Amino acid sequence: MKKVAVYLSARSNNQNYTGLTKTLAELIVEHGYGLVFGGSGVGLMKVLADTVLDQGGYVSGVSVKVLQDSAMQNLSELTIAQDLHERKTLMREKADAYIALPGGNGTLDEITQVIEERKLGIHDKPVVVINADGFYDGLHMQYKTMQSQGFLSGQVDDLVIFVTTPEQAINIISKSLIE
Note the pLDDT tens digit of each residue in 79-122.
999 999 999 999 999 999 999 999 999 999 999 999 999 999 99
Strands (E), 8-148: 34-37, 59-64, 77-81, 97-100, 127-130
pLDDT value for 46: 94
10 pLDDT more than 90: no
Note the pLDDT tens digit of each residue in 37-91.
999 988 999 999 999 999 999 999 999 898 878 788 899 999 999 999 999 999 9
Note the pLDDT tens digit of each residue in 148-164.
999 988 889 999 999 99
- Confidence (pTM): 0.95
Q: How far apart are CA 130 and CA 120, in angstroms?
A: 23
Domain ranges of the chain: 3-178
179 pLDDT more than 70: no
What fold does the segment set 3-178 form as a domain?
Rossmann fold (3.40.50)
12 pLDDT more than 80: no
pLDDT value for 14: 77
Which residue type, as a one-letter code, is found at position 47? V
Which residue type, as a one-letter code, is found at position 80? I
